[in-house]
Amino acid sequence: MREFLETWPLEFLGILSLLVFVAFIVGVIGIAVLYIVDVTQTAHAVRRNFPVIGRFRYFFEHLGEFFRQYFFAMDREELPFNRAERAWVYRAAKNVDRTIAFGSTRDLSKNGTIYFVNCGYPTLGEDAMPNHAVTIGPYSEHPYTTDSVINISGMSYGALSKPAVQALSKGAALAGCWMNTGEGGLAPYHLEGGADLVFQIGTAKFGVKDENGQLSEEKLKEIAAHSQVKMFEVKLSQGAKPGKGGIVPAAKVTPEIARIRGLKMGEDAISPNRHPDIANADDLLNMVNHIRQTTGKPVGFKTVVGTYDWLEEMCENIRHRGIESAPDFITIDSADGGTGAAPMSLMDNMGLPLRESLPAVVDMLCRYGLRDRIKIVCSGKLITPIGVAWALCMGADFVTSARGFMFSIGCIQALQCNKNTCPTGVTTHNPKLQRGLVPSDKAVRAASYVQNMNHEIGVIAHACGVPEARLLRRKHARMVLENGTSVPLDELYPEIRNEGVSTIQKIDHL
């Protein structure tokens, strides 16, 4: 033993040198193999011209995304959401201090910037009022009344993970807002939190189709039998991919998701780019009325607006059929909305952003006397109080958000929703990655996010001199134009008052 102890450092060094030598030889052989592979392959020019070293390009490109986000991007620089916006949501969700110091880091003279106009005598805290309730679907058997302004936009179980759906459904129940199921059908995890739900019917009609792929009355009734399901939304399109159906890549289709949707394993879940049975305004209204009669619940539709003629045609049609035939709500999604997966050309350049489509649709409904009948829900990057307050000024009744709620439960904008690799567990079905997302904790975060949003929208409303956020009007905000000066929104988008109840009047008569 003593002998060994005296000699072991020498033996240890011998073994270590041998290992280093073997590693060196293996490394040299490995590099030689990569070199031969790279110079002989024909697919990648960089690797063919710069064998082995060329491979680092992919590695750095991948790392660049993370380095930019953490080290190099300025607070207001990144897209789709910059650090300042994300940080606000994180702090609201964690219910910690959301004040900032020294001064705004935002360039306030930029074209399109919104200024809310504070009045001389803001509403005192004791005069503030809670947001009043709004009823959707007065002609349905079970109208839905809610005072919730901010709600969870459609994201399917499939695009989202099981713990994410659980966290959001519980969070929505805690906050008293609704959650939209997205187009993937109704999962038990939507129900288990106890929140109000909007059941979305996508173009593939997942969860409500019969064996021939047609809309099934029986299945509609089954869904409507859940008292939590308050409304139905027919999805015509979404902002990130107008004219393209939903996509859930095969890597994310688990046996359970396949069962809920009625799919085969190993296949991408691709929905048609249009409801095959909705080809014009008549079809649309027939579908809305059919679902409303079958389920007894309010029915609306979701769309990103491109052209306006088909909406005008629908309004004309409602005039002939009668006001009760109208959809109970329209959800307008912005062209810069999010998605689990979409082609870049549609995501970048198809459809109109909400700042154009929201006022146009509100005004169109006013012109046709439908503004009070059809409630307006809108979505599209409205993840901080500023965006929501703007939407209320423009005439929205409700706001929904998808990515705001994703941030609230831990999303870090890793931009991997279309793979199965989301590092925060929000959009992956890999159980190892889901471990980090604990639904009970994140539910509280989602709820705090809603509560703090509502609080701060209230603060904006009070500064503008109205006692609650739903009383914000176009006159309460201005927009900066190209020449750097701002104009009131009610001058840019004058109120339409002729036939219907105008944006101003719609609340005041209540």
Residues of this chain that interact with ligand FMN (CB under 6 A) are 153-156, 159, 182-183, 200, 235, 238-239, 246, 302, 333, 337-340, 379-381, 383, 401-404, 417, 427
Smallest distance from ligand FMN to CB 309, Å: 23
Smallest distance from ligand FMN to CB 476, Å: 22
Whole-angstrom Cα distance, residue 260 to residue 269? 12
Q: Of 403 and 476, which has the nearer Cβ to ligand FMN?
A: 403
Q: Of 380 and 458, which has the nearer Cβ to ligand FMN?
A: 380
Residue 191 buriedness (CB in 10 A; 0-12 / 13-18 / 19+): middle
Smallest distance from ligand FMN to CB 152, Å: 9
Q: Of 167 and 464, which has the nearer Cβ to ligand FMN?
A: 167
SS3 sequence of 282-304: HHHHHHHHHHHHHHCCCEEEEEE
Smallest distance from ligand FMN to CB 79, Å: 12
Smallest distance from ligand FMN to CB 500, Å: 26
Whole-angstrom Cα distance, residue 6 to residue 15? 16
Smallest distance from ligand FMN to CB 477, Å: 20
The structure tokens listed for 173 are: 């129940």
Whole-angstrom Cα distance, residue 152 to residue 405? 7
Q: Of 51 and 154, which has the nearer Cβ to ligand FMN?
A: 154
SS3 sequence of 114-130: EEECCCCCCCCHHHCCC
Smallest distance from ligand FMN to CB 442, Å: 15
Smallest distance from ligand FMN to CB 241, Å: 9
How many other C-beta atoms lie within 10 A of the C-beta of residue 417? 24
Whole-angstrom Cα distance, residue 310 to residue 273? 17
Q: Of 333 and 363, which has the nearer Cβ to ligand FMN?
A: 333
Whole-angstrom Cα distance, residue 157 to residue 168? 11
354-367 vs 309-321: helix axis angle to the nearest 10? 30
**Taking Cα atoms as reference points, which of 468, 475, 461 lies closest to residue 504?**
475
Smallest distance from ligand FMN to CB 400, Å: 7
What's 471's DSSP letter? G
The structure tokens listed for 423 are: 């590092």
Smallest distance from ligand FMN to CB 138, Å: 25
Q: Of 246 and 500, which has the nearer Cβ to ligand FMN?
A: 246
Q: Of 69 and 325, which has the nearer Cβ to ligand FMN?
A: 69
Q: Of 297 and 462, which has the nearer Cβ to ligand FMN?
A: 297
Asked if 231 and 142 touch (Cβ cutoff 8 Å), the reply is no
Q: Of 235 and 473, which has the nearer Cβ to ligand FMN?
A: 235
Q: Of 368 and 449, which has the nearer Cβ to ligand FMN?
A: 449
| Peptide bond before residue 80 is cis, with ω within 30 degrees of 0 | yes
Smallest distance from ligand FMN to CB 284, Å: 16
> Between the CA of residue 411 and those of 184, 352, 417, 441, 498, what are the distances in Å?
21, 26, 10, 14, 45
What's 71's DSSP letter? I
Q: Residue 186 is which amino acid?
A: L
Q: Of 402 and 469, which has the nearer Cβ to ligand FMN?
A: 402
Smallest distance from ligand FMN to CB 14, Å: 57
Phi, psi of 416 (to 5 degrees): -125, 25
The structure tokens listed for 312 are: 């005008």
> Between the CA of residue 366 and those of 221, 263, 323, 340, what are the distances in Å?
33, 42, 13, 34
Q: Of 301 and 368, which has the nearer Cβ to ligand FMN?
A: 301
Element (H, E) at 357: helix 354-367
Torsion angle, alpha carbons of 329, 332, 337, 340, to 10? 40
